[in-house]
Amino acid sequence: MNITEIKTHKWTTAPRLGSGGIGIHDDSNAQSYGFDGGFVGGVSLYEHFVGAFLDQGIDWLSSGTASYRFRLPVYDGEEVHFSIDATTKTFEIIGNDDKGPRMLGTFGLDADPVQVPAGEAMQPIDVRLGEESHLGSIMQLEIDFNDQDFSGPNLSGFPNIIDGRNTIPAGKWTNPIDLITTHFDELTTIHRTGRIWHHSPLFAGEVLVKRGVINELYEHRGNKVVRFSVEQTTSDGRPIATIEHESVYRLARAQS
């Protein structure tokens, strides 16, 4: 992929939560923490940019790379403004207010992908995340999308078919936080920052294998944050993406 072929593009849309929101993506749960409602998922927002890159004819899901940071929520159905700047190699989402970007990022990373070490994956444990002993923990999940239908209209602009094959939308597999919520007693998470290296699309009928390692646990303004690295492949070993992910896994206001 040649990122110099990417063109500046701006558009306005109203991202949606979709059905089955849990944790911070559920209205009542988000409101209990003092937010206006459920957040549109960070990876769902990123999917809009993926759709725009693909629409420009860029083979983004084979070699695209990006880093991103989430500053403020985008709420279900809220009109926001997306932009890709070809000169600065940046992208962002801005709301109809003066609070600055909700999400911002850069594309075209120079660094090599992070790696997950070899070793036996842990079994899920019914404890809260946060102990020093949790550092270095290796987690693994297999996700089968065969019981879900993605053939309908996609508001993000992500295509239903790539190279003649039905695809799984990027927002369904670029979030690795289910590794944390499956292996530890945590539910409410907020995507903070991330980096992604794409290797190939995920097609319908394929099983996704997520394998990750916990690299760091720290506090930011009283919020508990986890940073972990993830390698995603199909069950037969084809690389899909490498991801470095940071999420708030326990809000300061929820710890009292």
Q: What is the pLDDT of residue 81?
A: 98
Least confident of 34-43, 84-93, 160-169: 34-43
**pLDDT per residue over 125-139, tens digit each?**
999 999 999 999 999
**pLDDT per residue over 52-99, tens digit each?**
999 999 999 999 999 999 999 999 889 999 999 999 999 999 999 999
At 215, the pLDDT band (50, 70, 90 cuts) reads very high
Structural domains of the chain, ranges and CATH numbers in brackets: 3-109+120-254 (3.10.129.10)
160: CB partners within 8 A, 6+ apart:
150, 151, 154, 166, 167
State mean pLDDT over 171-178: 94
What percent of the chain stands above pLDDT 90? Answer: 76
Q: What is the pLDDT of residue 256?
A: 45
**pTM (2 d.p.):** 0.93
The residue ranges of DSSP E strands in the chain, in sequence order, are 9-13, 65-70, 80-85, 90-94, 101-107, 138-144, 161-162, 165-166, 190-198, 207-220, 223-234, 239-250
Q: What is the pLDDT of residue 20?
A: 55
Q: How far is CA 138 from CA 45, 75, 116, in A?
A: 28, 33, 8
Mean residue pLDDT across the chain: 91
What percent of the chain stands above pLDDT 70? Answer: 94
